[in-house]
Every structure is written in C-alpha cells, then in structure tokens.
C-alpha cells in the first residue's frame, strides 16, 4: 500500500486543482519558505480525520483551511482533498485495487463531508478503514518535527500504544473494549431483572 496521488482543490494555499503524483520510492517537496510544503502534510492529515485546527496550523474555525484569497485571487468556497492509495496488496480491507479517500468542506456550512471511493461515508468509516494500516491519526506514518524527541520522552504506556498500532493489535483492543461495554450493559439489565423477580416473589 502506498500513497499514489494527492488531489487538492481550495485547500490553504492550493487555490487551483493541484495533483501531486508519487511515482518513486522517495519524493521530496522543495520550495521557498511559505510556498506551501507543509500544507501538503496538513492536507493528508486533514483527509485522515484531523479535527484540531491548531494541529493543522489554521484559524479557530475549520473553514479557515479554505483558500482565503491572495493579492491576485478571490477566496474560494470549497476545499476538497483526495488521497489515492494503491491497494493491490489489500492492506485495506477492501476488494478495490485503488482506495480514494476524500474530505471536503464548504465555507457556507462549515461542515465536512467524507467519501470513500466517491461514496459518501462517515468519519468513523474512514477511521475503521485505516485502523491498523499504519495510517491512523496517531500512527507513525507522519513523523513531524518533534515526534522523535516526543517518542523518546513518552511514558511507557504511550509508547506501547504506538507499538500496538504498528503491530496491528489496536483494532482488536478497540473491539474488545466495545464488547466489554456491551457485557457490562447486559449484566446491568440482568441485575435489574433479578431485582424485579425478587420483588415479585
Ligand atoms: P516553510 O518552508 O517556511 O516551513 P512551507 O513551504 O512549509 O514554509 P506552508 O507553511 O506550507 O509553507 O504554507 C504557508 C503558506 O500557506 C502561507 O503563504 C500562507 O499564507 C498560506 N496559507 C495558509 N492557509 C491559507 C489559506 N486558508 N488561504 C490561503 N493561503 C493560506
């Protein structure tokens, strides 16, 4: 599984539709200060569900990530970013050769919409799809400045969760948690039932 392409439209400094193709093993993005290199990284994290505008180095409202105009260009009303992944090795639990994940936001309603292979979906569906592929929001697929020292300084439990994500057990831990919650609820219902039986007998 690898990221084949990013398509950006109206996201931060990318006013026009911009397609970045990743054809080689290593791709470097170079350019002068402030030209938008880090915005590409922000775009990837945004599609994968980042909800913190601070982490996205943006204003308070999520719609601040929409191109806000420049000396020569009017602001636009829509930001849309698509990540296209090669899925020939079926890392994603999906029969498709390619997986397209899209997030978009309109300035008018400030609400995000998500799509998997052009079909509308919930953020949860994207989280479920990427879980244990190494693409999760807190995974190590994106290593930013400060990550390395953060990892070295992390508490053992925090470090362990990174290993669990990398090893692919995070999915099972999440399912276990949901099952335990259901069991607890069922036990509560049984206790209430027993109370009623005791009252009637
Ligand atoms: P450096 O090399 O200094 O780290 P960079 O190439 O990584 O810079 P970015 O931080 O990615 O640059 O991009 C900053 C640019 O993005 C600034 O020019 C800023 O005005 C522009 N920008 C950020 N948000 C928006 C927005 N919503 N609308 C228009 N332009 C934006």
Q: What angle do CA 51, 53, 56 make, to 5 degrees?
A: 95
Tens digit of pLDDT at every position of the chain (201 positions): 689 999 999 999 999 999 999 987 888 899 999 999 999 999 999 999 999 999 899 999 999 999 999 999 999 999 999 999 999 988 888 999 999 999 999 999 888 999 999 999 999 999 889 877 778 666 677 887 777 888 889 999 988 887 887 777 877 888 899 999 999 999 999 999 999 999 998
User: Which residues are annotated binding-site positions for ATP?
Assistant: 32-39
Ligand 1 pocket (Cβ < 6 Å) reads 12-13, 31, 33-39, 64-68
For a mutational test of ligand 1's pocket, the pick from 15, 20, 36, i.e. the residue with the most ligand atoms closer than 8 A to its C-beta, is 36
User: Which residues are annotated binding-site positions?
Assistant: 32-39
105 Cα–ligand 1 center, Å: 19
For a mutational test of ligand 1's pocket, the pick from 15, 18, 34, i.e. the residue with the most ligand atoms closer than 8 A to its C-beta, is 34
Nearest residue (by CA) to ligand 1, atom 20, is 13
Which tokens belong to 106? 């309109």
Query: Which strand (E) or helix (H) includes residue 42?
Result: helix 37-47
Q: What angle do CA 133, 134, 138 make, to 5 degrees?
A: 130
- The domain covering 1-132 belongs, at the CATH homologous superfamily level, to P-loop containing nucleotide triphosphate hydrolases (3.40.50.300)
**Domains of the chain: which residue ranges?**
1-132, 138-168, 172-201
Contact present, 44 and 142 (Cβ < 8 Å): yes
136 Cα–ligand 1 center, Å: 25
167 Cα–ligand 1 center, Å: 35
Atom of ligand 1 nearest to the CA of 64: 27
197 Cα–ligand 1 center, Å: 67
Q: Is 5 exposed, middle or buried (0-12, 13-18, 19+ CB in 10 A)?
A: middle
Spatial CB neighbours of 121, under 8 Å, sequence gap ≥ 6: 114, 115
């Amino acid at each position: 599984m690898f990221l084949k392409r990013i398509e950006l439209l109206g996201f931060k400094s990318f006013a026009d539709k911009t397609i970045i193709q990743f054809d080689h093993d290593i791709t470097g993005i170079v350019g002068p200060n402030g030209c938008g290199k880090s915005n590409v990284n922000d775009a990837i994290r945004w599609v994968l569900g980042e909800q913190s505008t601070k982490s996205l180095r943006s204003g308070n409202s999520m719609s601040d990530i929409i191109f806000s105009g420049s000396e020569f260009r009017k602001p636009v009303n829509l930001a849309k970013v698509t990540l296209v992944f090669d899925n020939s090795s079926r890392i994603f639990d999906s029969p498709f050769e390619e997986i397209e994940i899209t997030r978009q936001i309109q300035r008018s309603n400030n609400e995000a919409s998500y799509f998997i292979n052009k079909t509308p979906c919930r953020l949860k569906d994207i989280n479920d799809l990427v879980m244990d592929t190494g693409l999760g929001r807190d995974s190590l697929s994106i290593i930013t400045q400060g990550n390395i020292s953060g990892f070295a300084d992390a508490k053992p439990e925090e470090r362990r969760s990174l290993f669990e994500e990398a090893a692919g057990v995070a999915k099972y831990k999440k399912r276990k948690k949901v099952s335990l919650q259901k069991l607890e609820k069922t036990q509560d219902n049984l206790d209430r039932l027993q109370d009623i039986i005791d009252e009637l007998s």
